[in-house]
């Protein structure tokens, strides 16, 4: 498992900012964890979750000093070529993430859909928009989307040059960012993080 390098620039966001109004970079950088002991608890917990996904054969990276997990799923595992309907295989790929959202406010999940550069800019953007909306709708039908934010980036952020069939396949992907949210931060402050501890921590909100 490799660490994803990202330059973090502190943001001055209003407390009432809605996560759906934030840019991808803003959502990746917040909430900021300022307490070192709190951060240590979260980093250890997130690392264990990342390892578990890695052992289940997902493509996993960590960023922000192990505070944020990034899982990449190839578009071919989610959709048929040029299609925007989530496939049965795609549903299987996404099912493990449902449990991540059972505790409201424990995670913020960012869904970021990418394409290669085949077709016009309008086409690739529209394709990724329809695909990420299909994934968002699937989560809505099977759980809660209160802390899920979709982003469609078209072909604007390739990880490799689009100069071969294999490279274009790598660029067609979904990135899922698991970002600690207020419930996890509250648990870390108390000294123990438990994804399934819903009732007790919601009473403390």
Q: What is the CATH number of the domain that holds 160?
A: 3.30.1330.60
Q: How many CB atoms are located within 10 Å of the residue 194 CB?
A: 13
Beta pairing partners, 72: 59, 175
Domain enclosing residue 123, as ranges = 35-203
Instruction: Determine the average pLDDT of the residues in 77-103.
Output: 96
Establish if 93 belongs to a structural domain.
yes
Residue 196: the pLDDT is 85
* Whole-number percent of the chain with pLDDT over 90: 84
Q: Mean of the pLDDT values across residues 177-202?
A: 85
Q: How many CA atoms lie within 13 Å of 204's alpha carbon, on the beta-carbon side? A: 14
Say if CB 67 and CB 180 are below 8 A apart.
yes
Phi, then psi, of 188 in degrees rounded to 5: -60, -35
- Among 29-43, 106-120, 164-178, 184-198, where is mean pLDDT lowest? 184-198
Determine the pLDDT at residue 3: 44
Under 8 Å CB-to-CB from 2, ≥6 apart: which residues?
Answer: 61
Instruction: Give how many domains the chain has, as a whole number.
Output: 1
Q: What is the pLDDT of residues 29-59, one digit of tens each?
A: 999 999 999 999 999 999 999 999 999 999 9
- Report if residue 136 sits inside a domain: yes
Is the residue at 28 inside a domain?
no
In a domain, 4, yes or no: no
Instruction: Compute CA distances 99 → 104, 113, 121, whole Å.
Output: 11, 21, 35
pLDDT tens digits, residue range 60-82? Answer: 999 999 999 999 999 999 999 99
184 belongs to a structural domain: yes
User: Is residue 156 assigned to a domain?
Assistant: yes
Q: Is residue 23 part of a domain?
A: no
């Amino acid at each position: 498992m490799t660490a994803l390098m990202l330059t973090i620039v502190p943001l001055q966001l209003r407390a009432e900012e809605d996560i759906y109004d934030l840019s991808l970079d803003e959502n990746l950088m917040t909430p900021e964890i300022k307490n070192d002991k709190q951060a240590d608890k979260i980093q250890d917990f997130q690392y264990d979750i990342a390892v578990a996904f890695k052992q289940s054969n997902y493509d996993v990276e960590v960023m922000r000093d192990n505070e944020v997990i990034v899982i990449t799923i190839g578009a071919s595992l989610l959709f048929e070529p040029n299609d925007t309907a989530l496939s049965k295989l795609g549903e299987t790929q996404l099912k493990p993430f449902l449990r991540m959202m059972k505790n409201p406010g424990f995670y913020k999940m960012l869904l970021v859909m990418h394409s290669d550069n085949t077709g016009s800019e309008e086409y690739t953007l529209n394709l990724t928009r329809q695909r990420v909306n299909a994934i968002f709708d699937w989560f809505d039908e099977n759980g809660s989307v209160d802390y899920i934010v979709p982003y469609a980036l078209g072909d604007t952020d390739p990880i490799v040059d689009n100069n071969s069939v294999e490279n274009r396949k790598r660029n067609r992907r979904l990135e899922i960012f698991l970002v600690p949210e207020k419930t996890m931060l509250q648990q870390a402050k108390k000294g123990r993080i438990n994804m399934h501890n819903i009732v007790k921590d919601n009473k403390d909100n």
